[in-house]
Structure 1
Amino acid sequence: MEVRVLRYFIEVVQERNISNAAKRFHISQPTLSRQLMDLEEELGITLFERGHRQIKLTQEGYYLYERAQEITGLVDKTETDLQSQKIISGTLDIGAGESTAIQPVMTVIGTLLKEYPDIKINLVSGDSDLIYQRLNNGTLDFGIIMGPEKLLNYHSISLPQNNIWGILVRKDQPIAKKKKITPQDLIGLPLLTSAQSKQQDIFRSWAGSLINRFNFIGQYNLIFNARLLAETGACLALTYKNLINITGTDLVFRPLTPAVTDQNNLIWNKNRQLSNVAQLFLNRLKEVQ
């Protein structure tokens, strides 16, 4: 399975057309079709459902497409890192969840981009599962993990700011009149929370036995979409303070009391050597800690 052929395959999927993909690579359509058929024969699978005007992937095709992007991404990153050891250049790959508390990290990155124009940045948004996966397969240099996590297999630095939990709620709902929200206030109300916080069960110590009377109606991955649902008045959204701009909306944020906070940790793989640009970023971040 050659990386070159995987790039062909990715381009075909993204173009949804073999002819267009062939033009992008300056090869003939029959040649590209033959390469893909050879790939199918090599793997013993069928990648495309034949007979469609547009490309339609099989289940095996979808799996290979996801893995092919990871493989080619890792190859590109490795080549870039190897070629840029003598100068400050290359791509800094950082994954993180949504939080305004990671602003110090972005400040350091912004400074580096101004000082070293050859540096590129790749920001990946995702939950802890995605970040761990990409740190382990080498497609991320660093990850920012929020909340209680086991970090034994990673180097880590605690970032200075914490995330403050509260609720997004419509202004016209009775609970919006409260300045701070107690566990008793949430009993029976429809609650939407992030998938990661639900997995970590971070509200149990705050609410105690009352959490068994909470009505968790679902979970979200990105707060923007959860905000739209909260605006309908169908639920309250548990989220971080200042995570999303609600100016001009029908929503207000109310913090939990006693306060519930999450720490932010910058982590990186103990078993992988950092590139020169990644090491420079880490050194700069330590200076401002």
Structure 2
Amino acid sequence: MIYLLLSVLSSTVIFVVFRLYKRFGVNTLQAIIVNYFVACTVGFFGYIENTSFGHVPSESWFPGALMLGFLFIAVFNLAAITTQKSGMSVVAVATKMSVAIPVLFGIFLYNESTGILKILGIILALAAVYLTSIKSKEGISIKSKNLVFPLLVFLGSGIIDTSLKYLETNYVSETDVGLFSSTIFATAGIIGTIILIVQGLMGRLKINFKNILGGIALGIPNYFSIYFLVLALRSKGFDSSTIFTMNHVAIVTVSTLLGILLFQERLIPKNWIGLGLAILSIILVANSAI
């Protein structure tokens, strides 16, 4: 449980950093790319011992790490497009509702436990994610021509979580968790650098020192959010469908509360209902594992 809590806290710090980007005018794409290299470095020098990096391409999990690195960048860009076309609320819902994919994956592929408490908790969790994410009384509105973008964010985010579970279960040894996590971030960073090079050749690149600082601030908690999530998936007593549900809903809950405390966000009644459902869903899902 401690690893799950640490993953939630790390992910919540990411939320705070993203909010500060807007306040200080940080270029999100540049900061994201710097963040991947920082996260990779944290893993390489802080959580990997006596390892020869030359053997990494021969590891059984290496192709999966490459795929995840590509997905990290792809989903980020899709989220940016979705934000521009449909707003932040749509991105928040699509990203967090994607928890349904790894949950179903765990239940049907790994025959993880089901029961009335867990099923009810998962349903309430999905409702909580929607209600806490919307920022207007009218709810969420998406033009039909733009529907493909949040759907891709939903699928991409769900595939990332599902792949983490699959690779962690079948290929990543306990001693390779740090190396596996760092390889994902390194791949994402390299792909992101290629994007920046293309922008530079097109004359659209302007690097600012504050973007680098923003990437450093993001990279440290970002590494730990993945590292601790993988360790949480390895913990005994909770299956992956329980871990993913509690992780997503707890992040939404804590992030919303921090939004109120640190950024004076005002919640509409639906948001408060969502918070209540989030807390109830965590209690139900946690107790279903006892």
TM range, normalised to the smaller chain?
under 0.3
The structure with the largest helix share of the pair is 2
TM-score (norm 2): 0.21
TM-score (norm 1): 0.21
Which of these two proteins has the greater Rg computed from alpha carbons? 1
